[in-house]
Structure 1
């Protein structure tokens, strides 16, 4: 299994990233990566929300993306802010939807929107990056 990579970022804080297989089991690895990064940065208070967010983003990528891998990236754009991103090979942006009461799926992006300070999609030439930011000011 590939090891996570770390590299210096413009903020002076390391970032963490790992390429994972596009399979449901990768959500557990992504949650561990988020928890490791946040513990290293002393931001343990964001760990539970971060773990939930990365689980939802990975689940969406597993369900909707193409190819066999995804990339999870955790950056620290500010002292008390983190950005969690999942990169995949699908150009289709994620869509929020209103699930019916009996639906088992379809609530992930609504949960991300509730937990995150902000979130969005960045198109890439070969796919997209879906990201969510935590910390900083109180979410609204």
Structure 2
């Protein structure tokens, strides 16, 4: 399983996968890790369940080993989870008493999600769902920080990294960006230590309020 990420205009993570039980476990972990990176740890458990249901639906109704893609996207105060596959068969909730094979997982999906649906395309279909997030000020700051750090990496000529290497790269970029900002404040005649202290005060106030 490999992946890449796009941050404009929204935070977005794309993960191609093969419809295999082992891949579902990897997808669940990847989704949780991505949400942690975005500062949405409280949404990870629900997202893992939705990812499991959508990916398992591909295994059952499209076929084991089928190619598919998971997309996670933060849209304002909602998390959108999509799974794309190459089948044009639209899933149905069926009757309330149906068994696993006719959509029990989709009933769970409908119960958890604020909204869900299916989109057909020339290449196949996408089954999507959205969950409402408690998107507080700290999460908005994390979203802005990720976008700023990735833009800073590009401005410095850095390569796009994935997985753990990507996290390490963002941490290194954060250090370099903070250092650049301190140089900028000193060049303007400001006290770098004072700027750091004020930033720390803002952080602690928001962390205490969370």
Instruction: Please state which band the TM-score falls in when normalised by the shorter chain.
Output: 0.7 to 0.9
Per the alignment, residue 69 of structure 2 pairs with 71
Q: Which has the higher strand share?
A: 1
**Is there any run of 5+ residues in structure 1 with no aligned partner, and where?**
none
Deviations 1:53-103 (A, max 9, x none): 11000011111126731111101111x3211110001011111123648x4
The correspondence for 2:55, drawn from 22, 43, 58, is 58
Point out the more displaced range, 111-120 or 128-137: 128-137
1 or 2 for the larger relative contact order (CA 8 Å, sep ≥6)? 1
CA distance in structure 1 between the partners assigned to 2:92 and 2:100 by the alignment: 16
- Of 95, 100, 104 in structure 2, the residue corresponding to residue 98 of structure 1 is 95
1:39 and 2:36 equivalent? yes
Higher helix share: 2
TM-score by length of 1: 0.84
> Once the two structures are superposed, what CA deviation does each residue of 1:17-58 show, in whole Å capped at 9, x if it has no partner?
111112222211111121012111111111111111110000
Task: Return the index of the structure with the highest Cα Rg.
Answer: 2
Alignment of 1:1-140 (within 5 A): 2-11=1-10, 13=11, 15-65=12-62, 68-78=66-76, 80-98=77-95, 100=97, 103-105=99-101, 106-136=103-133
Aligned counterparts of 1:18 and 1:55: Cα–Cα separation in 2: 14
Give deviations 1:85-139, integer Å, cap 9, x for gaps: 10001011111123648x45531011111111111111111200101111248xx
> Aligned pair count?
132
